[in-house]
Structure 1
Amino acid sequence: MENNDLAKNSGAHNAGDTMPPRDAKHDGAAAQAETSSQTPHGQAEEEQKKEETATSTPQSLEQVAQEIDQFVRSLKNVGNAQNFAIPDFSERYLDLVEEKIMKYDAGEGKPKWGEVSEEDSWLVNNANRFSKLMTLVIDNYPDHEPEKISGAQVSMMNRITSIHQRLMTYLEEDFRFLMEESRIPTELDPGGNNQNSIDTKRKQHMAASEQQELVHEQEGSEQDTNFPGYSEETIASLSKIAREMLFGGYESECCQVYIISRRNAFEEINQKLGLERISIDEMVTKVPWDTLARDMIPAWINTLKQYAAVYFPGERKLTEAVFAENHAVAAGLLGGLSRGVVIQLLNFAEGAAMTKRAGEKLFKLLDMYESLCEVIPIADRLFPEESVEEMETEMTVAKSRLGEASIYIFCELENQIKSETAKTAVPGGAVHPLTRYIMNYLNIAGDYKETLEQVFMEHWKRNRADSTSKPAEQKKEGGWDKETPSPFATQVLRVMDLLDSSLEGKARLYKEVALSNFFMMNNGRYILQKIKGSSEMSKVMGDNWIRKKSSELRNYHKNYQRETWNRVLQCLNHEGLSVNGKVHKPVLKERFKSFNTLFDEIHKTQTSWVVKDEQLQSELRVSISAVIIPAYRSFIGRFAQTFDPGRQTEKYIKYQAEDIETYIDELFDGKPHQSIGRRRT
């Protein structure tokens, strides 16, 4: 970096000199000898020059700086260091710079960057000049020939080194000041409700083109407004200082200040977003899962998404702007910084995957898995080229561990079903708690169908790659045989088969065949409604399974109705009541008595049976009424007149058809009613 063009340069060598500058005293003696050997007139001119020099005003820092610049340029152009020597006028330059430094040290110190623009320019320009002098000194004074260096030159070299170090210290302080004090507070979204974040569930149902369009919208709206967190003026100053520090050999100091400052910035972001620094061991052994699920995992997901959408692209933008003239340094800093941040995030993910496996953890782990799935494909836009592959690998490993933990937990549903060995039947044939748990679990799993399909398929492919023998139906080219259920669907079907078997065993706990069938119908209906209520789980189970389950329910319904209400219908059978066209009254009385007793008993019992599904409850009542009411109405219509009006009629015909319909509507609400007989007395 050049400070000024050649101007008034008293005593300096021209840029076109073919020999390097020599000692100033030597030059003066040679000139004097030359003029004295010529004419008296020449000698007089030389004497006049000496007098003018003795009485002239000392050169200013600006003037002597110009001579230093000319000296550096001339030596650089010559490219011959055999007769290299630092000129005497450099002493004046060193004196003036040291004087400036002493004023700083003796007073209130150097003004902070930006307070006095002239001071900023002075520091940068002279730091650059001393860096060039240092380069010349290092390049032109060979260590293996120290005897060629005079004591004065060694002293000069030491002074240059000392002043250069002091100037670089000032620059380092200014760089740190700008990095720490000029940072603009970044707006954060601790709740994870950033309007530009991609909702995973919504994204799963979007077309690929829509997803890509949404990503582009993110890039255009977020990165330009929220980051890099410094004004353009500050970034320009940081870049200027960084350039001089790197040029002067202070790359390590500059990079250390930068990376410490940015690490602190990311720590502040983590804290504001609610992400605590926590070790894997603490997550596994100390932190309650409720705390992880409620607070820490949502904060982790939000932090990862905001890093990917805003902060990593912004950090890349900042680093490349500050170190614009040195791509290698920028890439190294960005790679190291981003790796530290990413590893902290991934350690959290691995810790979550290593916690004790339990069913309630599945969906939080899948949320984390999905978040990594979003970030990995855009790694090349977040990290420098040199570290993209490493970052992708690290994130993929963490994603795989979350996936493996998710598979383990999901497959544990099998053991939960097998271990449910209750020996007591559920009262009233109600839906069993195990049925509710499994089906609600699968219903939520339906929201994660795409993710679970991916997790199970990746697991199957790894096992397939590691296996030497593979089932024939899985030996299709390119992976899974599309005509067979997917690995995830296969696992769900296995769970459903186990649940059916478990329910069949629990149904046998009931002594009444009707209640056993009622229990299977009740639970089967709950299962079917849950599957049909989830479009995703309906796809997993398939139309054939749904048709089969519906057919099973109809059979359970028929069996229940046969075991319960066919006995009632037998009481209303007309056969055997008439002999030679005359009603056999004792048999008729017995039929009415049997009907009344049986109906009262069924009502008393089945009002305590439980059907929470209002639609099923209504269907059952309607189907019972459709069978019983017409038969009862027909029976009364034909045989009621057989009894004498009054007490005899009331004794045997206790119910009208409307009463029967009312009592049927009281069935299956799980609330035992008072005996019909007692209510009527």
Structure 2
Amino acid sequence: MADFASPIATYDCEQHVFAAAQHIVKALGASKNLNDDVRRLLADLDTHLSTMTIITETESRGTRELEEQLKFAQQKIMSLESNRAMIWASGHEVASEYLQAVYEIHRLSESLRSLLSNRSGKQKELLEQAHIVLQIAMERLEEELILILARNKQSFEPENMSFRSCEDDVVYEESIASNEDDLIEDTPQRDSSSTEPEERIIDLVHPEVISYIKSIADVMFASRYDQEFCHAFINFWKDELDEYFAVLRCDKLSIEDLLKMEWRCLNRKIKKWIRAMKFIIRVCLASEKRLFGQVLGEFGSVCSTCFVEATKGAMLCLLNFGEAMAISPLRPEKLLSLLDMYEVLADLLPDIDSLFSEDVGSFVRTEFHELLMRLGGTARATFMEFGNAVASNTSTNPFPGGGIHHLTKYVMNYIHPIFEYASTLNLLLGVQVGEEMVEPIGTVDWQNISLKSSCPVARHLRWLTSNLESSLDNKSRLYKDGSLKHIFMMNNIHYMVRKVQGSELAIFFGDEWIRDYTGKFQQHATSYERVTWNPVLCLLRDDGNLGKSILRERYRGFQAAFEEVYRNQAGWFIPDLELRKDLRISTSQKVIPAYRAFSAKSFPVIGDKYIKYSADDLEDHILNLFEGSSMSLHSTRKR
């Protein structure tokens, strides 16, 4: 760069003009032919020229001093401009001298600006030169800022975080469809990330360089290049947040893309979103807020504005994902994921209110609060829709073998993890349509007995199982055999009781519900025995003195009836071992004693020729029932 243009020639020219003017005035004043008015005019002119000469001499001396100072500061700045090595890599002393030179250029610019007047432009050249040097210095400092941030940022890897990858998570969820064969027992489970330890604020850049960064900010702000600093600082951290998304394996997808996504893929992304929300807000944003405060805290609202500008893109991306879930179609398999999302937002609410507490960030707070309410409403509607879907589930064919229906398994396994969401669901189910959503509540005190039977979760779960029972009753009507209808209802209601009894769900359903439904499946067992075996046992009734032929017919009729029952029911299935055992024993206790008594009375009359099965044979056959596979009848009696 060329040296500064010297103002000395201009100054000498002005001095010659003033000297010539004064010489002429003095010569005119020496004339004796002048009147008093002309003499006074020449005297005033001489005084004015003398004053201008003094001012010019003073300004000239000041301009010379400014010129020398400007040259000295310029030399310091330009000496490093040719050397492209980082200024801060050259040592603290070099960096301090450079900043002092920049401050000096700025001070000289202000001084030259104050000297500059409309009547004279001799300081203008120096001022323009100072602006050029200052511009060069600002561009260099902006480059230094980006390099310092890039070379000193603290990186992290997923394995060093408490958040595990969920690429291999296997999810088994299906919706309740008209074809119950599509229903499966496995249901969504609570996201394990909710129990992971909280992260903390970290150093996003090496602590030693923060003072350097702040020094650059101070000098650029002082030189009125604050916008350039903020632009560079904001863009750097915007890009870093994008990198954090990549490390967390979170894709930035539009709402439209998310709504089109297949559920299993979307559910994996929900798990990633939950982890990303906690890490981005509690680690990345909290750490950025601290760093922005350390660097820009002295500049008032500029600090908050820059922080919001740097982070709003990431926040809106995360909120858009939540919005997609909030407006997506209601499907039962989404409930626990919706509750997980709602809970993580509720948990992060204080963090968001703190991070974006100023007016400039109010729109982020507002969007966050509104999303929380919308997700809560969607979760509540999903749970209610699930209950309605259970009630309206229909079948066209009877369920084979009278076993536990897929719908029963799905519903009972579906509601099993709800205990872990009790606080959230009590809040959401307690909110009536049209009411304003209240703040999330804390953990429910389950020692409070009044909550066991009256809380919203308990009422809705009982409503749900009532819908299930009604749906099962409709399905049982598809059986032509009345006995199988009772086996089917006994199996399914017993399964419901077993899932509730001994688990946390018992708190919601209460002892009364357990006693009621236990009585129901027991009643179906009793009804099965009555419908199946009473007609058979009637053939063994004692009508008094019976003749030989009648006794033979009674034996033949009983044996045929028993064989028919066995052929029909051998393929029926009672999955629960204890329930199967209890019904076998109860049936055996009704049939075998009656058969023994009849045999004891009739044997002396008809002998053993017509007796096909012994009491032990019949007992063995009864104790083989309900295995789900047919077995042939056999007799141990010797012919």
TM-score for the superposition, normalised by structure 2? 0.78
Cα-to-partner distance string for 1:359-395 (whole Å, 9 max, x where unaligned): 2222222221121121113334544555675444322
Amino acid at match of 1:454: L
The structural deviation recorded for 1:270 is 0.6
Q: What is the aligned partner in structure 2 of residue 495 from structure 1?
A: 464
Q: Percent identity?
A: 29
Tell me, in whole angstroms, the C-alpha distance in 1 between the residues paired with 2:238 and 2:124. 42
| Structure 1 counterpart of 2:610, from 652, 660, 667 | 652
User: In the TM superposition, what are the counterparts of 1:125-164 in structure 2 within 5 Å?
Assistant: 125-137=100-112, 140=114, 146-148=117-119, 150-164=120-134
Cα pair 1:335 1:384 within 8 Å, conserved? no
Cα pair 1:524 1:553 within 8 Å, conserved? yes
Tell me, in whole angstroms, the C-alpha distance in 1 between the residues paired with 2:146 and 2:619. 87
Cα pair 1:568 1:599 within 8 Å, conserved? yes
Q: What is the aligned partner in structure 1 of residue 89 from structure 2?
A: 114
Cα pair 1:24 1:87 within 8 Å, conserved? no
The structural deviation recorded for 1:328 is 2.6
Q: In the comparison of the two structures, how many residue pairs are matched?
A: 551
> Partner of 2:213: helix, strand, or coil?
helix
Tell me, in whole angstroms, the C-alpha distance in 1 between the residues paired with 2:339 and 2:436. 24
2:147 is the counterpart of 1:177: yes
Q: What is the aligned partner in structure 1 of residue 496 from structure 2?
A: 527
The structural deviation recorded for 1:586 is 2.5
| Structure 2 counterpart of 1:556, from 517, 524, 527 | 524
CA gap of 1:534–1:395, structure 2 versus 1, over 3 A, is farther
| Structure 2 counterpart of 1:508, from 449, 459, 477 | 477
Q: What is the aligned partner in structure 2 of residue 88 from structure 1?
A: 64
TM-score for the superposition, normalised by structure 1? 0.73
CA gap of 1:508–1:380, structure 2 versus 1, over 3 A, is closer
Tell me, in whole angstroms, the C-alpha distance in 2 between the residues paired with 1:437 and 1:526. 11
CA gap of 1:95–1:389, structure 2 versus 1, over 3 A, is closer
Cα pair 2:402 2:484 within 8 Å, conserved? yes
2:393 is the counterpart of 1:420: yes
Q: What is the aligned partner in structure 2 of residue 432 from structure 1?
A: 405
Tell me, in whole angstroms, the C-alpha distance in 2 between the residues paired with 1:174 and 1:524. 73
Tell me, in whole angstroms, the C-alpha distance in 2 between the residues paired with 1:120 and 1:516. 90
Amino acid at match of 2:475: K
Cα pair 1:331 1:386 within 8 Å, conserved? no
Cα pair 1:435 1:527 within 8 Å, conserved? yes
Q: What is the aligned partner in structure 2 of residue 268 from structure 1?
A: 243
Gaps of 5+ in 1: 1-22, 30-81, 205-210, 467-480
Q: What is the aligned partner in structure 1 of residue 266 from structure 2?
A: 292
Amino acid at match of 1:243: D
Tell me, in whole angstroms, the C-alpha distance in 1 between the residues paired with 2:115 and 2:381. 69
Amino acid at match of 2:289: R
With a CA cutoff of 8 Å and minimum separation of 6, indicate the structure with the bigger relative contact order.
2
Amino acid at match of 1:557: A
Cα-to-partner distance string for 1:606-646 (whole Å, 9 max, x where unaligned): 111121222221221122122223333344345434444xx
Q: Which moved more, 1:82-91 or 1:269-278?
A: 82-91
Cα-to-partner distance string for 1:108-137 (whole Å, 9 max, x where unaligned): 435443234343122211112223333445
> Partner of 1:180: helix, strand, or coil?
helix
Cα pair 1:439 1:527 within 8 Å, conserved? yes
Cα-to-partner distance string for 1:218-254 (whole Å, 9 max, x where unaligned): 4xxx436xx2222221112111111111122111111
Cα pair 1:312 1:383 within 8 Å, conserved? no
2:341 is the counterpart of 1:368: yes
The structural deviation recorded for 1:656 is 2.8
Tell me, in whole angstroms, the C-alpha distance in 2 between the residues paired with 1:659 and 1:640. 17
CA gap of 1:191–1:625, structure 2 versus 1, over 3 A, is farther
Tell me, in whole angstroms, the C-alpha distance in 2 between the residues paired with 1:85 and 1:678. 135
> Partner of 1:278: helix, strand, or coil?
coil
> Partner of 1:315: helix, strand, or coil?
helix
Amino acid at match of 1:158: E
Q: CA RMSD in A?
A: 3.5
Q: What is the aligned partner in structure 2 of residue 672 from structure 1?
A: 630
Amino acid at match of 2:581: S
Cα-to-partner distance string for 1:455-481 (whole Å, 9 max, x where unaligned): 2224x2x52469xxxxxxxxxxxxxx9
| Structure 2 counterpart of 1:576, from 543, 546, 549 | 543
The structural deviation recorded for 1:680 is 9.6
Gaps of 5+ in 2: 1-9, 17-57, 166-188, 438-449
Q: What is the aligned partner in structure 2 of residue 411 from structure 1?
A: 384
Q: What is the aligned partner in structure 2 of residue 587 from structure 1?
A: 550
CA gap of 1:633–1:447, structure 2 versus 1, over 3 A, is farther
Tell me, in whole angstroms, the C-alpha distance in 2 between the residues paired with 1:312 and 1:542. 45
Cα-to-partner distance string for 1:177-236 (whole Å, 9 max, x where unaligned): 111222121243578249xxxx987999xxxxxx9xx98xx4xxx436xx2222221112
Amino acid at match of 1:184: Q
CA gap of 1:550–1:305, structure 2 versus 1, over 3 A, is same
Tell me, in whole angstroms, the C-alpha distance in 2 between the residues paired with 1:129 and 1:336. 32
Q: What is the aligned partner in structure 1 of residue 533 from structure 2?
A: 565
2:325 is the counterpart of 1:352: yes
Q: What is the aligned partner in structure 2 of residue 77 from structure 1?
A: none
> Partner of 1:151: helix, strand, or coil?
coil
The structural deviation recorded for 1:348 is 0.9
> Partner of 1:618: helix, strand, or coil?
helix
Q: What is the aligned partner in structure 2 of residue 443 from structure 1?
A: 416
Cα pair 1:380 1:388 within 8 Å, conserved? no
| Structure 1 counterpart of 2:215, from 240, 243, 263 | 240
> Partner of 1:652: helix, strand, or coil?
coil
Q: What is the aligned partner in structure 1 of residue 514 from structure 2?
A: 546
CA gap of 1:85–1:427, structure 2 versus 1, over 3 A, is farther
Cα pair 1:514 1:560 within 8 Å, conserved? yes
Amino acid at match of 2:67: E
